[in-house]
Amino acid sequence: MAATGDESAVMDSICKAPAPPTDLQLTAEPEPEHEHEQEHRRDDATENPKAKRPSTNNDGGVETAEEATEPAEPDINELCRDMFDKMSVFLQGELTATCEDYKLLENMNKLTSLKYMEMKDISINISRNLQDLNQKYASLQPYLDQINQIEEQVTALEQAAYKLDTYSKKLEAKFKKLEKR
Amino acid sequence: MASSETQPRFGQSVKGLLSDKVTSCSGDVIALTRQVLKGSRSQELLSQAARNMVIQEDAILHSEDSLRKMSIITTHLQYQQEAIQKNVEHSKNLQDQLKHLMKQ
């Protein structure tokens, strides 16, 4: 019974909430939460080259400890600059891909337009030559009509020659008949 | 939310949180850039345009070939016309002779 009584006293002492802070207590005995806030402020504000060693404070049976921080690197600026440079290079590369596509299309369009200009020149030459040819063939039309007339006359001459040939054959046959008599 | 994320969590240092934040920000910028490029659909449209141009190239070359052949044919027609012109000038004498023969 006595042991349980002692144990209950110990448990009570452990479970008791700490007393509310007073001014005297704040200045003399800073609480662990306040210590952590101060540490974060120090870390954010300054770069302590020296590592803070974890220290322990015994305050009425409650142990407190400070956070161990790494020393700030001296070339953090260089690293930041390097990071932003590489980011900008990456973003430029992402945008350059689309630019290159546009340049490719532009070059293809330029070559196609050159091709079409050559074809236009060729077609202009062809149309000019065909117009000249049409005019020359139009000027040849009377000669072609003459050729048609010549053909008709030659046909008529041929018919006359056939008739003459037939007549001469008939005449020869009659002559031979008369000669036999 | 942001303030709660920036508060030191159990087991994490401020420096670690800062580096995580920087990493997430850079990842967000990259994702934003990619989303902007993807949303503009420029890659699809430009590649489709290039593909169509390549398909058209065959037709353009065929057209050019046809035009060149047409120009050659036109040149041959000119040669033939000159030869006809030269020979047709004799037809007048021929016609006169034929008229003379027919009269007889």
Q: Please give the DSSP secondary-structure letter assigned to residue A51.
A: P
Q: Which residue type occupies B55?
A: I
Which residue's entry shows tokens 């008791």? A16
Q: Which residue type occupies A15?
A: C
Query: Do A137 and B60 make contact, defined as CB atoms within 8 angstroms?
Result: no
Q: Please tell me whether the interface predicted TM-score (ipTM) of this complex is above 0.90.
A: no
At residue A56, the pLDDT reads 52
- Please classify residue B37 by burial: count the beta carbons closer than 10 Å to its beta carbon, then call 0-12 exposed, 13-18 middle and 19+ buried: middle
Which one is predicted more confidently, A32 or B95? B95
For residue A64, what are the β-bridge partners?
Answer: A57
At residue A158, the pLDDT reads 93
Report residue A110 as tokens: 């330029």
* Chain A, window 125-144: residues with a beta carbon less than 8 angstroms from a chain B beta carbon: 125-126, 129-130, 132-133, 136-137, 140, 143-144
How near does any CA of chain A get to the CA of B49, in Å?
A: 8
The number of beta carbons lying within 10 Å of the beta carbon of residue B13 is 16
From chain B, the residues in CB contact with A94 under 8 A are 33-34, 37
Please determine, for residue A74, whether its predicted confidence score (pLDDT) is greater than 70: no
pLDDT more than 70, % of chain B: 88
* Chain A, window 16-35: residues with a beta carbon less than 8 angstroms from a chain B beta carbon: none
Nearest beta carbon to residue B95 from set A40, A70, A149: A149
Please report the number of interchain residue pairs, chain A to chain B, with beta-carbon separation below 8 angstroms. 105
